[in-house]
Amino acid sequence: MNVMADDPEEGMLSWDESVFRDEHVFEIDYVPEAFRHRESQMETLKYALRPAVRGSRPLNVVVRGPPGTGKTTAIQKVFAELDHQPGVRAVRVNCQVDSTRYAVFSRIFEELFEYEPPSSGISFKKLFGQVADSLVDNEEVLVVALDDVNYLFYEGEASDTLYSLLRAHEAHPGTKIGVIVVSSDLDLDVIDDLDGRVQSVFRPEEAYFPVYDVTEIADILQDRIDAGFQDGAVPTTVTDRVAELTAETGDLRVGIDLLRRAGLNAERRASRTVERQDVEDAFDDAKHVHLSRNLRALTDTERTLVKVVAEHGDERAGDVYDAFHERTDLGYTRYTEIVNKLDTLGIIEAEYEQLEGRGRSRRLRLAHDEDAVRDHL
């Protein structure tokens, strides 16, 4: 069949076509080839880790900055380079998943030995001993990145975990371990919130990752578009709009997710190009990326509290506790800890108010649209 030049099918995708060249480019775990606008932070990390390549204990580092500013990618980039260096083992621990000292060391054990420690539960001391012995026997230096270390603080496990890592050489002479802690919680003062016994040995270098500005965002998104979309599928005006919306949230991941969703919207219309309307439609979904990521990482008990707050919106903490206690049987101290954690994560807002003659009380409410929270729960 001859396709006429003015055939409306021209701008349409056929069944086996896609606007994407490689959709994986828009996944959360994709590590980009070019890593822009983070040169000085990468230098700090490399400077701190250089001694490890020479067989010495590396410097410790605190990496801080809001979510979606490139912290994890920086670690992944540097660790990929370290993997080719003999005598260095680099292990990244996601503390959202492994939020206790035992879990952190189990993850390190698994990386070193390439199998999981026995699930029947060996004592921490034994687990720790096997990790240290392996490093000494193989003459290896260990670099551990505690990504999202704020979760260790929420669980009260941060000081013990760091103490064991940083003082390993006292119990096991010859052990060389350096630690990078990565925090997205700007209210958390990583160093001040650690025990004195840990502070004295920690003394880290600092690498701060600020929010990207709109031109930096546009640069980075353009790299992703070039790698992930077919040529010409995303006009510059559309990229600029995505960069604007991303800058409003301050989180690059929102922009990357937005591009993927806008591409899927274009495909739904069977269009070869992404239009601005595809972006606007997708933004309503994409801005909840953060929310769903945080909700996914919660325990069942913490989720229960989110549900209770949703049902008892804008009520006093005491009244919310009564409803929560009925369902979980937990005491007030644990309740307060969970409230503080959910408040820090930006899932709920806990605001103090003055009560007449009764001191202060907190009002609890959801920090997001109630329907969005229910959907993602």
The sheet carrying 88-94 orders its strands as: 88-94, 141-147, 176-183, 61-64, 205-208
Q: Is 331 annotated as a binding residue?
A: no
Q: Is 335 annotated as a binding residue?
A: no
Closest CA to 298 of 29, 114, 118, 96: 96
Q: Is 224 annotated as a binding residue?
A: yes
Helices H / strands E in the chain, number of each:
17, 8
Q: Which long-range contacts (CB under 8 A, 24 or more apart) does 266-271 make?
A: 266/19, 266/233, 267/13, 267/18, 267/19, 270/12, 270/13, 271/11, 271/12, 271/13, 271/19
Q: Is 73 annotated as a binding residue?
A: yes
Q: Is 336 annotated as a binding residue?
A: no
Return the bridge partners of 360, or none: 354
Closest CA to 136 of 172, 99, 82: 172
Q: Is 272 annotated as a binding residue?
A: no
Q: Is 77 annotated as a binding residue?
A: no
Let me know if 80 is exposed, middle or buried by CB neighbors in 10 A (0-12, 13-18, 19+): exposed
Cβ proximity of 348 and 365 under 8 Å: yes
In the annotated binding site, the residues are 69-73, 212, 224
In the annotated binding site for ATP, the residues are 69-73, 212, 224
